[in-house]
Structure formats: C-alpha cells, structure tokens
A and B are shown apart, each in its own frame.
Chain A
Amino acid sequence: MEYRTIQTTCTYCGCGCGLLLEVMDEGLVGTLPLKTHPINEGTLCIKGWNVHEFVESDRRLRYPLVRKDGDFQEVGWEDALGMVASRLMGIRDKFGPDSIAFLSSAKCTNEENYLLQKLARAIVGTNNIDHCARL
C-alpha cells in the first residue's frame, strides 16, 4: 500500500504552476495545487487541476508516427528524427534557410525552447522562430 505525492510543474502553459501528482500504488489518481509554490501559491486553473487525466489518456501520442501510404505508422525515434532532419536540410538547401520557420511551445521548458531557437539560428540559419503563446 502506497500513497504519496510527487512535486512537478504544470506542462500546460508557460506560467509554471507547481502541482502535486497523487500516486496511489503506482497509479496516477489525482492532482493538487502545491500550496507552498512561489508561483501559484496553492491555486491552479482547470487545466492544471486535471493534469493526471491526460497523462493516463489512451489518446496520448506516445511514439513517433509517420504517414505512409495515407496512414499513420509507428516508427522508431532514430528513423523519425533522421527523416525530419534530411527533409529539413533538403528544403533549406533548395529554397534557402528563411523558407523554414520554427514554432516552439509554452508547454516546453525554458531550456527546450532555448535549444529550438539554437537549432533554428545556428544550424538552419534562420531567425524565423516563434511560439504558440503569441498565436
């Protein structure tokens, strides 16, 4: 028998609210606001309150999917990333770096967002980088 709570940061938006995931016998059963967190001080919005539901959702994307013959098919990470890299490089070489734009996400960490702009600027060579919170 086990019941404990795991502290983490809400992934839904860029606010960074602290939350507690309630774990009972290895299953995720609920979410609570972290009362002592400096950002949200024990409050959450409706998305934060329901984080545990999407973690367990069977509609969640868990593996890379590639469209082959009109259907999505599961592929390994190496294949998926290799395909994206070669296609992007092909487009860049043919149409120039500014033919590509990158859209980052408020659901990612600061560090992940930093890395994406690094990829855009230093590797592809474009300043076309934005994120969903401006849409």
Chain B
Amino acid sequence: MADLKKATAIISGLLAKDKVAGFLALRMVAGHPVPYLFTKPEELDGLYLGEVRYPVTKLLIRLARKYPDNSFGILARACDERSLVELYKNQQLDPEKVTFVGVACSGELAEKCECFRPYPSRIDIGEKVECQEDDARVREIEAMPEKERHRYWMDQFTKCIKCYGCRNICPVCFCPSCTLEDHDLVHLGGMPPQIPIFHLVRAMHMADRCIDCGLCEEACPADIPLRTLYRKVRETVKHLFGYLPGESTEDFPPLEVLGEGTFEIGEAGKSSRS
C-alpha cells in the first residue's frame, strides 16, 4: 500500500535523523493493532494505518513526563490533532517536543465516526475528503418533549456500570484529582453510580474540552450515547461563547473564566447571551 510505504519512509527518516527519540503509533502484534513506541526503523514493518483507534496522544503524556528532554513523534488523525491542541493548551504536552505526522481519514471512517472534519491541518498520509457534520442524533433527542427527554437520559444513565472507561479512554481527561472520584459527589467503591450527577459532572467538564473523537462511546460497555450528550454541551458552549475546543492553542476555554454578563440556557438547551 502506498500510504504505508510513505508513512514508513517519513517515520524512519525521523528516527534515523534522531529528530525524535521514539514514534508512537499502532503496530500489528499477534494479529491486533496495538499502541507501540517505535524506536528503530526496522520495527516499522508492523506499522498499522487502519481504522482501529486508541488514545495515542493521551498515552504520550506518560512518556513525555518521564523523558521531558526528549522529543516524540506521533501519528495523528484529525481527532488526535484536536486532542493535541487541548493537551498543549493545558500544559500536558510541550508542542516543541512533539512532531506529528498527519493522516487524513477515509470517507468510510469519517462516516462511521460521524466526523465533521476528517483531516488534520497538515496531511502527510492519505487523501483529504470533506464531510458534513452529522448531528441527527442530537436533533432527534432535542425534539423530544422535556419530560420524555429527561426520561430518556435517566434510562440511559441507569445502564451505567461505573467502569470509568469514558474517563479513562478520553484523550483530554488528564486531571490528577478527578471530580468523578470526589467523595462528596460520588460514592467511591460502590454501586450504583450517582445518577445523574456522575454523568452530568463529566458532561459539564467536557463542555469546553471535548474534541468529539467518540472514543468514550466506543469504550462504554453500557452503550450510553455519551458522545451525543457531549456534543450537545459542546454546541451550547459554541453558541454562548463562540468557542470550540481543539481548534486553536490561542483560544481560552471560557468556563475557566466566565467574565461579565449573564448566560441563559433555555428550552431544549437553546442558549442566549445578554
């Protein structure tokens, strides 16, 4: 495959010239694509460019902490790049020490992911395809009468087995002390989870941070439509503050500094600012 050849050439170049100490991507091991730090060009025979996704940018944080003087390379799709933006902004990674190789996603993957922009700011591998943001699920739930909508979400949250998978897999969840482990809000080490506090706390925290990668929903054993919920809060923040996470390291997350004025979220979450 041409893409694989090209990616191998770029990455071995980075490794051979010592531009990076290691390159984090997926490698085929025993029949499964799994996260792996490539440190030698000859390991690249197993490089994987397919559709399986892991939160590689989050995995990089641990390496970067242990080796703060080293630079690392990473294979980044558009969603990975958006998470990099958030991780830079929140001082979890140093942009000077990360080199990304941009991968444009196929139309099929973009459709599967309901992606709004399936290519990174710089495309090294793959062809750019455009797609429409698919917000049908948000609109469908929004159209329900309030009582029914409330019932819908409560029914969904009831399925939760409190695995913390949504938080653990999320590339932009990195807080050393997590509110979902706060004794005052969540009963630790017990079931059932506090409904709906557990889920709404997370939704609130994602409102100006979620980069809409969908990994949480993929990791949820209870099939709770988490991404739909986070899309709604993202949308609310976008309407109120004109802010979208993952776009630029210059923009400041608005919920950290609310500033002057009042903000109102009305019926069906339609927001206004005065």
- Contact surface of A with B, Cβ cutoff 8 Å: 1-5, 7, 20, 22, 24-25, 29-30, 32-37, 40, 42-46, 48-49
Contact = CB atoms under 8 A, between A and B. Distances in A.
B22 A3 contact: yes
A35 B221 contact: no
Nearest to A35: B52
27 contacts: A1-B21, A1-B22, A1-B63, A2-B39, A3-B35, A3-B36, A4-B37, A5-B29, A5-B34, A7-B32, A20-B34, A22-B35, A32-B35, A32-B169, A33-B219, A34-B34, A35-B54, A42-B219, A43-B165, A43-B218, A44-B163, A44-B165, A44-B219, A45-B163, A46-B161, A46-B163, A46-B164
Contact of A5 (B36, B70, B219): B36
Interface residues of B, number: 32
Interface in B95-150: none
B37 A45 contact: no
Interface of B: 21-22, 24, 29-30, 32-37, 39, 52-54, 59, 62-63, 66-67, 70, 161-165, 168-169, 218-221
Contact of A49 (B33, B35, B165): B165
Contact of B29 (A2, A7, A32, A46): A7
Contacts of A25: 66
Given A45-B161, A45-B221, A32 B54 contact: yes
B35 A20 contact: yes
A44 B54 CA distance: 14
Contacts of B63: 1, 3, 24
Nearest to A41: B218
A46 to B, nearest CB: 5
